[in-house]
């Protein structure tokens, strides 16, 4: 039997770091949501007790460093599954981009193998397994829109934002999340996003207020390290996107647009400037 799961990319509408904890992790507060840009994960049972990963993308690890491999190993070990699995990752989400591609692949693998092997694991337990793989994995188990706190694993699901278009552009640099967090001085952040105001804007489906409230404290670090990310942000603003922000630790910058015509203008304007550009819909409860 062969099954397929979609693994969507996430963006942060806000990303705030409250403090650095004694255990070395950062205490975060961030609003995450998903966009219609997704990897496709195919899973096929193998009679031999082994995990094999393949992908058309030449630049991701295919061994135990791959998050989908780690997800498969975790579920196999925990539920004592003796079958093997062949997993093919059709990558569409740019890698090391701040879009949680690896985390979403891991979450999709947990969902898929739960189905393939009829394990009957509930969403909450899948999220707990996901937390062992990475801070963004629990959110990616069901997606939706959530405020994530703690290391990112404590989730409060909220309404979907108003439906809109998202133009994503990734400059040709890879940014290490650990590096960016390492350079952040949590006690010296100049402007924190007003997370409560953005939650309220989403509740009221107030698109203007949502655009005005977008904020990410990691921009300070990434924009100072990579001037091309700042240029990309300025370019998206000039092209008229309604709200513009860097996602996660970057370097992907996204612009949200209420109207498709505006999203098309931003997309076309960016294409000469940047090779990896996508115009997609935000995934909401209505269109997911």
Q: List residues with catalytic annotation.
A: 10, 136
Distance from the Cα of residue 212 to its chain's centroid: 21
Does 105 engage in binding with ligand ATP (CB under 6 A)? yes
Q: Which of 98, 161, 255, 269 binds ligand ATP (CB under 6 A)?
A: 98
- Tokens at 45, concatenated: 């049972």
Q: Single out the segment in contact with ligand ATP by CB under 6 A; choices: 29-37, 101-109, 230-238, 255-263.
A: 101-109
89 sits near ligand ATP (criterion: CB under 6 A): yes
The contact pattern for ligand ATP, residues 26-45, with x = CB under 6 A and - = no contact, is --------------------
Distance CA 103, CA 140 (A): 7
> CA dist 172 to 14, 94, 143, 226, 229, Å?
24, 10, 27, 11, 10
CB-wise, 138 or 269, nearer to ligand ATP?
138
Our finding on whether 60 is near ligand ATP (CB under 6 A) is yes
Cis check for the bond before 283: say yes or no (omega within 30 of 0).
Answer: no
Q: Is 12 in the site for ligand ATP (CB under 6 A)?
A: no
3-state secondary structure of 160: coil
Q: Which one among 5, 16, 36, 136 touches ligand ATP, defined by CB under 6 A?
A: 136
Q: Does 248 bind ligand ATP (CB under 6 A)?
A: yes
Sign of the CA dihedral running 245, 246, 248, 249: negative
61 binds ligand ATP (CB under 6 A): yes
Minimum CB distance to ligand ATP, residue 252 (Å) = 8
Burial of 190 (0-12, 13-18, 19+ CB in 10 A): exposed
Closest CA to 169 of 90, 235, 102: 235
Q: Which of 72, 85, 87, 101 binds ligand ATP (CB under 6 A)?
A: 101
Partners of 52 in beta bridges: 86
Residue pair 42/88 in contact (Cβ under 8 Å)? The answer is: yes
Q: Judged by CB, which is closer to ligand ATP: 42, or 206?
A: 42
C-alpha to C-alpha distance for 248 and 13, rounded to whole angstroms: 9
Between 201 and 280, CB nearer to ligand ATP: 280
60 vs 211, which CB is nearer to ligand ATP? Answer: 60
Both tokens of 134, joined, read 């990475």
The interface mask with ligand ATP, positions 173-212, x = CB under 6 A, is ----x-----------------------------------
Cis-peptide, bond into residue 107, ω within 30° of zero: no
Residue showing the smallest CB distance to ligand ATP in the complex: 102
- Geometric angle at alpha carbon 116, from 114 and 120, rounded to 5°: 35
Q: Is 130 in the site for ligand ATP (CB under 6 A)?
A: no
Is position 99 an interface residue for ligand ATP (rule: CB under 6 A)?
yes
For ligand ATP, the binding residues (CB under 6 A) are 60-61, 65-68, 89, 95-103, 105, 136, 177, 248-249
């Amino acid at each position: 039997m062969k099954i397929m799961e979609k693994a969507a990319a996430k963006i942060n509408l806000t990303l705030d770091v409250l403090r650095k904890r004694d255990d070395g992790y950062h205490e975060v507060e961030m609003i995450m949501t998903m966009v219609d840009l997704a990897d496709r994960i195919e899973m096929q049972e193998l009679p031999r007790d082994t995990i094999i990963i393949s992908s058309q993308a030449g630049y991701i690890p295919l061994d135990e460093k791959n998050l989908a491999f780690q997800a498969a190993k975790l579920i196999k070990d925990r539920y004592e599954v003796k079958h093997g699995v062949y997993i093919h990752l059709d990558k569409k989400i740019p890698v090391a981009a701040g879009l949680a591609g690896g985390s979403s692949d891991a979450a999709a693998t947990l969902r898929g193998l739960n189905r393939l092997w009829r394990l009957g694991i509930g969403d909450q337990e899948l999220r707990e397994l996901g937390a062992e793989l990475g801070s963004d994995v629990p959110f990616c188990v069901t997606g939706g829109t959530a405020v994530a706190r703690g290391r990112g694993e404590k989730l409060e699901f909220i309404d979907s934002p108003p439906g809109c278009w998202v133009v994503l552009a990734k400059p040709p640099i890879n940014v290490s999340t650990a590096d960016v967090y390492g350079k952040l001085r949590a006690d010296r952040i100049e402007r924190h996003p007003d997370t409560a105001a953005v939650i309220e804007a989403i509740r009221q489906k107030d698109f203007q207020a949502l655009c005005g409230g977008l904020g990410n404290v990691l921009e300070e670090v990434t924009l100072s390290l990579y001037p091309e990310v700042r240029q990309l942000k300025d370019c998206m603003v000039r092209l008229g996107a309604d709200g513009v922000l860097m996602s996660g630790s970057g370097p992907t910058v996204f612009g949200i647009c209420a109207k498709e015509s505006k999203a098309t203008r931003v997309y076309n304007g960016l294409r000469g400037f940047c090779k990896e550009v996508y115009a997609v819909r935000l995934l909401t409860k209505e269109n997911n």
